[in-house]
Amino acid sequence: MPEEKPYLTGRTYIFKLNKGDDLLNELQEFCRDNQIKCGIIKGIGAVSCATLGFFDQKKKKYNKVKHDRAFEILSLLGNISLMEEKPMVHLHASMCDDQGGLVGGHLMGGTTVFACEIFVQELVGAPKMRKLDKVTGITIWADCKE
């Protein structure tokens, strides 16, 4: 494993999202507005519908599923890095419905907030930059100079 350089912690945020917000878009916008180029995100809350992806490792594409019912967000976990020089949020979520059924996956646009509590920790150092990786078919990190 290559040597990793430590980062410094930058700005720290804790805030709520509002009913009706698109969860992914709102976090994406928050990071772009505040120019958070590198960091981690987590949160809990509830949504009125969820759109989640699963990456098909053989076909190298995301399968997208829209779940059109209410969920508690059990965990929302991810990070911020750069893609084509803009902050990009990458989040995975697990959720449960009112019947006790659990769903999860890669968070996509089309997930509507009922109420969410979000934590963002900016990291200061060489921001990670997403580039398409031909082996896996996904965009993965390379270090880049600021």
DSSP state of 33: H
Q: Could you count the other beta carbons within 10 Å of the beta carbon of residue 65?
A: 12
Interface of this chain with its own copies, residues 110 to 139, rule: CB under 8 A: 114-115, 117, 119, 123, 128, 133, 135-136, 138
Number of residues located near its own copies, criterion CB under 8 A: 66
Read off the amino acid at residue 96: C
The answer to the question of residue 73 lying near its own copies (CB under 8 A) is: yes
The answer to the question of residue 93 lying near its own copies (CB under 8 A) is: yes
The answer to the question of residue 83 lying near its own copies (CB under 8 A) is: no
Place of tokens 């996956």: 105
* C-alpha span between 122 and 39 (Å, rounded): 4
Least distance in angstroms from the C-beta of 62 to its own copies: 10
Q: Which of 24, 37, 51, 105 binds its own copies (CB under 8 A)?
A: 105
DSSP state of 69: S
Note whether 41 and 118 are within 8 A (CB).
yes
3-state secondary structure of 108: coil
* C-alpha span between 21 and 131 (Å, rounded): 29
Residue numbers of the site for its own copies (CB under 8 A)?
A: 1, 4, 6-9, 11-16, 19, 26, 29-30, 33-34, 38, 40, 42-44, 46, 48, 54-57, 63, 65, 70, 72-75, 77-79, 90-98, 100, 102-106, 114-115, 117, 119, 123, 128, 133, 135-136, 138, 140-141
